[in-house]
């Protein structure tokens, strides 16, 4: 055994474990608002004992930490079953929402936290909208991170400058950008982005639920689709993630049995996990599929769901012209 021996899981997370900022996807429903950082404020209001209003210097003066987390777009709110590839892993800089909630002191009647962004406009024929999401108070207090930096630099305008919410283990739709208002309420807000869209009905249930926790998922990154590779030994590589730890990734080559891949354990943070499997392949066309399972026993379903098993087709031509 030695370097490159697949039985020795690489302790380093590998290249692009944190996605470079230039490779990040951007999802904005109503465009990027123009925000003047000198006049921007964040309020914490509603069912609280002490409403807060903070300007940017006050926000930046709060003790800051880091959170590295998977950031995944749910995809089109109109087509909740279509698989997407908009997933990244970002190192955010900021502070827990709990720091502000504790200062504002929620009243006993407060049950929900509503997040509102500065972007306004029309969406799906409705005018005068702003971007609004909500979470149960306990979830928000435990999980939400407020970020003013990403990957060691200030947040870019399109990613929510000067401040955005980040909700680890939940779909990106919950991570409100250009945050201006945090409102504590007793009821969920009725809104296009809370109760009309970004809901889905789990199999076997009949009540739609808000799109929150991410699905168990995996994507094969190497080989790339339609790659032409030298026949011989190659290493399949990819990444898996879920709302809990992924405990197993299996690959099926050319429709063969599921074989366990080497899987990086989840560290202290809600990041994605790398996997790899080495195989020797004959010349000709090939397919490889990946399937992840998490600690909750969730498994990627067969084709037809948004988090279906991932399949890549590639080939090992008998002669590869180089040059």
Ligand X SMILES: Nc1nc2c(c(=O)[nH]1)N[C@H]1C(S)=C(S)[C@@H](COP(=O)(O)O)O[C@H]1N2
State the residues that interact with ligand X by CB under 6 A.
24-29, 73, 117, 119, 131, 159-160, 172-173, 175-178
| Min CB(172)–Mo ion separation in Å | 4
68 burial level (CB within 10 Å; 0-12, 13-18, 19+): buried
307 burial level (CB within 10 Å; 0-12, 13-18, 19+): buried
C-alpha pair distances (Å), 100 with each of 96, 161, 173? 8, 19, 22
Cβ distance to ligand X smaller for residue 17 or 123: 123
| Min CB(59)–ligand X separation in Å | 17
| Min CB(24)–ligand X separation in Å | 6
99: three-class secondary structure by DSSP:
helix
Cβ distance to Mo ion smaller for residue 96 or 172: 172
Q: How wide is the angle at C-alpha 269 spanned by C-alphas 268 and 273, nearest 5°?
A: 100
Cβ distance to ligand X smaller for residue 165 or 312: 165
| Min CB(117)–ligand X separation in Å | 3
Cβ distance to ligand X smaller for residue 208 or 283: 208
**Could you give the string, one character per residue 49-88, with x where binding to Mo ion holds by CB under 5 A and - elsewhere?**
------------------------x---------------
| Min CB(147)–ligand X separation in Å | 10
CA distance 88 to 168: 12
Cβ distance to ligand X smaller for residue 30 or 230: 30
C-alpha pair distances (Å), 261 with each of 68, 246, 256, 278? 24, 12, 14, 8
| Min CB(18)–ligand X separation in Å | 14
Q: How many other C-beta atoms are found inside a 10 Å radius of the C-beta of residue 170?
A: 26
| Min CB(136)–ligand X separation in Å | 18
From the list Mo ion, ligand X, none, which binds 178 (C-beta under 5 to 8 Å, kind-based)?
Answer: ligand X
For residues 209-224, b (16+ Cβ closer than 10 Å) or e, as one string? ebbbbbbbbbbbbebe
214: three-class secondary structure by DSSP:
coil
As beta bridge partners, residue 289 has: 252, 311
Window of 173-181, 266-274, 290-298, 315-323 that interacts with Mo ion by CB under 5 A? 173-181
When binding is defined by CB under 5 A, the residue of 94, 96, 117, 172 that contacts Mo ion is: 172
From the list ligand X, Mo ion, none, which binds 98 (C-beta under 5 to 8 Å, kind-based)?
Answer: none
Please spell the DSSP secondary structure of 45-84, one letter per residue: EESBSS-EEEEHHHHHTSPPEEEEEEEE----TT-TTS--
User: Judged by CB under 5 A, does residue 27 bind Mo ion?
Assistant: yes
Could you say which DSSP state residue 224 is in? P
From the list ligand X, Mo ion, none, which binds 234 (C-beta under 5 to 8 Å, kind-based)?
Answer: none
Cβ distance to ligand X smaller for residue 26 or 99: 26
CA distance 272 to 244: 10
From the list ligand X, Mo ion, none, which binds 119 (C-beta under 5 to 8 Å, kind-based)?
Answer: ligand X
| Min CB(54)–Mo ion separation in Å | 27
> CB of 86 within 8 A of CB of 26?
no
Cβ distance to ligand X smaller for residue 52 or 73: 73
From the list Mo ion, ligand X, none, which binds 286 (C-beta under 5 to 8 Å, kind-based)?
Answer: none
Cβ distance to ligand X smaller for residue 35 or 234: 35
Q: Which residues contact Mo ion by CB under 5 A? A: 27, 73, 172-173
């Amino acid at each position: 055994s030695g370097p490159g021996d697949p039985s020795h899981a690489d302790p380093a997370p590998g290249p692009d474990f944190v996605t470079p900022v230039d490779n990040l996807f951007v999802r904005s429903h109503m465009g990027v608002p123009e925000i003047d950082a000198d006049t921007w404020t964040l309020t914490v209001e509603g069912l609280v004992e002490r409403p807060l209003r903070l300007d940017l210097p006050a926000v930046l003066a709060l003790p800051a930490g880091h959170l590295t987390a998977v950031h995944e777009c749910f995809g089109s709110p109109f087509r909740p079953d279509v698989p997407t590839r908009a997933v990244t892993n970002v190192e955010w800089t900021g502070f827990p929402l709990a720091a502000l909630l504790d200062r504002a002191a929620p009243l006993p009647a407060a049950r929900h936290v509503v997040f509102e962004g500065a972007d306004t406009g029309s969406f799906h024929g409705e005018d005068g909208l702003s971007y609004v999401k909500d979470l149960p108070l306990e979830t928000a207090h435990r999980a939400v991170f407020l970020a003013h930096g990403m990957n060691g630099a200030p947040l870019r305008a399109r990613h929510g400058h000067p401040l955005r919410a980040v909700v680890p283990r939940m779909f990106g739709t919950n991570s409100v950008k250009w945050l201006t208002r945090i409102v504590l309420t007793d009821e969920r807000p009725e809104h296009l982005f809370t109760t009309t869209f970004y809901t889905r009905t789990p199999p076997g249930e009949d009540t739609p639920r808000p799109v929150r926790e991410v699905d168990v998922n995996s994507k094969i990154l190497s080989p790339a689709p339609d790659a032409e590779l030298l026949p011989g030994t190659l290493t399949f590589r990819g990444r898996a993630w879920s709302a809990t730890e992924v405990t197993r990734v299996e690959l099926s080559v050319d429709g063969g049995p599921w074989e366990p891949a080497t899987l990086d354990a989840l560290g202290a943070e809600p990041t994605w996990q790398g996997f790899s499997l080495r195989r020797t392949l004959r010349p000709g066309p090939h397919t490889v599929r990946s399937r992840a399972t998490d600690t909750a026993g969730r498994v990627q379903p067969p084709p037809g769901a948004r988090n279906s098993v991932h399949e890549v087709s590639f080939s090992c031509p008998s002669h590869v012209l180089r040059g």
